[in-house]
Structure 1
């Protein structure tokens, strides 16, 4: 069995009820944090998970809303826990430069804490890995592989497929439909997919907001991707505009028009088990 918890179902639009994009995947004893939107550790704490518990951080891409709290994850694990093993951070090319930039920005804080605490003698221990496709993890019965997605002009971007004990989950990140995502998702127990309501976004007057239409999947497109891949469950997240109370049936119906399987959507901390 694999357990999926939507820690943050929001977007760059600040929402008092939804944290930024982030998903927790539990596979056996391993805990993978997929993307690090705003408020991620607060949401993780609500399900009893802290920075010290994380096996690895997986980044689908480097858009600001998906990495906003990466610095918080790094610093909190380093300062408030006694874990000294390096934290693996796996993402697309460019991830190492982002992490190096964060450590540069945190340099004053790092120096203060090393000077103040006798047992802290080194900066945060991190291991950064960059991939665009292929296997990226094989430990304790958990395997992970990635494939490129299409979120241009943001590139490269990747999706992750986590497999454990016969169960499989794909985390698509932001993407329009593409063959590589279909192939990675083929036969998966669950597909976690970001979605927008194109019918609502087209009503806004600002072109900057309408620009998101050309590099995100609509609810219908996410449903069609799930159908082509033959997945068991479609989990919707990263709602744009925010999913309002009472609209759940509308969003579900749009996906169900393309996909006949189980559809899950809801608030932050929604947990779905598959396998």
Structure 2
């Protein structure tokens, strides 16, 4: 049965209690890191997962808060993998991902050169296998299948969501998006939907237009819940809270979601875990 861990539930605004957007999905012995916001490897270490233990890195889109730790993931996996011929890290993301990975490795070029010069067993830069996609099946091995579909976070484009299926159970990770038909189709009948959420009722009152602007390309709590309802999912897992949830106000967020969705609702701080069971 798949297990979801919200590694980072924060936003682009640094928060001492919330790492950047990132979700860990463990299924059939495989470990998938979905997005890699700031502090992700520290959060992963807290649940016993290191960069070397990742089966694949899945990127929903290329906004800075979702890829802030890409360099750390690439370099740390490289220097902590002691296999003589390490397997490349599969990185699956939208078009543009290969360019970002290449640029990241170039930015760390001095570091990579230093380490190769110092360690006899490091003879080549970090190996990676980048696959760019917008729809279709992108992973099918050892009991786990992953499918991708477009989402709508324009002008950020293209953006994608992931559906991970294992042992008859399914987890969908929406990333940042407004409601759209393609996400409804990807999430149809899923056992869990992990969806980013913002409180538009709060954000719209910001004195800064730049802050108000985020309302037109993110889903509100109610919109995410309505997506879950249309798709007929069993559990809605909310994350990437904007603004950050004030301690004691969790039930307020849950109540807003419940106005649109009658299923199970999960929300929590970093490291919140959700076991996903297949419906029979």
How is 1:89-128 mapped onto 2 (pairs within 5 angstroms)? 89-128=91-130
Tell me how far apart the structure 2 counterparts of residues 125 and 188 of structure 1 sit (CA, whole Å). Answer: 33
Q: CA deviation at 1:244?
A: 1.1
Q: Deviations over 1:20-71 (max 9, x none)?
A: 0000000011000000000000000000000011000000000000000011
Match of 1:242 in 2: 244
Residue matched to 1:62: 62
Q: Tell me how far apart the structure 1 counterparts of residues 90 and 207 of structure 2 sit (CA, whole Å).
A: 42
1:194 maps to what in 2?
196
Q: Any idea what the Cα deviations from partners look like across 1:62-89, whole Å, max 9, x if unmatched?
A: 0000000011000000012314111000
Match of 1:215 in 2: 217
User: Are 1:37 and 2:37 an aligned pair?
Assistant: yes
CA drift at 1:241: 0.3
Matches for 1:123-272 after TM superposition, within 5 Å:
123-272=125-274
The CA distance in 1 between the partners of 2:246 and 2:123, in whole Å, is 48
SS at match of 2:102: helix
Partner of 1:194, secondary structure, is: strand
Structure 1 distance, partners of 2:23, 2:246, is 20
Match for residue 22 of structure 2?
Answer: 22
Q: Distance in 2 between matches of 1:170 and 1:18?
A: 22
Aligned to 2:76: 76
Q: Which structure 1 residue ranges, 4+ long, deviate > 2 Å from structure 2?
A: none
Q: Take 2:276 and 2:17, find their aligned partners in 1: how far apart are those partners?
A: 26
CA distance in 2, matches of 1:51, 1:8: 16
What runs of 5+ residues in structure 2 fail to find an aligned partner?
A: none
